[in-house]
Amino acid sequence: MRISSNGILFNHESERRGEEFITRKITKGIARLKKDPEFVLELGNLDAKRDWGYAPDYVEGMWRMLQEDNPDDYVLATGETHTVREFLETAWGPIIWKGQGINERGEDVNGRVLVKVNPEFYRPAEVELLIGNPTKAWTQLGWKATTTFSELVTRMVKHDAK
């Protein structure tokens, strides 16, 4: 007999996310790029895929778990992935990519270098793909993340631009 519910929550992001996480590093970096023409954002694996959702949506999912008469295990996730590169492009806009691997860099339309790959930021045990299957939460809890990827990124960028 279960006495509690368990939630496996995939990357739940918001404006309050710590600055050591890639999403905030990007959104804070975008704010700095707009103010400092000399700044270059350095990132690791641009092609890592993550299942990013908006934290308040996940709080609602947790609340729904607690309303259930029979505790169970649930995965809260969007069920979709986006690369670090996509997050960056959604936050900034069009980026022209040049080079490959650790020599890759992103430039704006005027040739200004915005982003460089820095091998120091690669994780030693990088997981290329993180995606959750929230089907059980959808069907049993009626929960689904409602904030889109684009809305999430836009919220975070606006917050860090202040």
Q: What is the mean pLDDT of each run of 10 residues along the chain (162 residues)?
A: 86 93 96 95 95 98 95 97 97 96 95 96 82 97 97 97 90
Its pTM stands at 0.92
Contact of 2 with 71, CB cutoff 8 Å: yes
Q: What is the CATH code for 6-161?
A: 3.90.25.10
Domains of the chain by residue range: 6-161
For residue 129, the model assigns a pLDDT of 86
Q: What is the pLDDT of residue 3?
A: 83
- DSSP sequence for 79-103: S--EEHHHHHHHHH---EEES-GGG
pLDDT digits (tens, 9 = 90+) for 122-132: 877 778 789 99
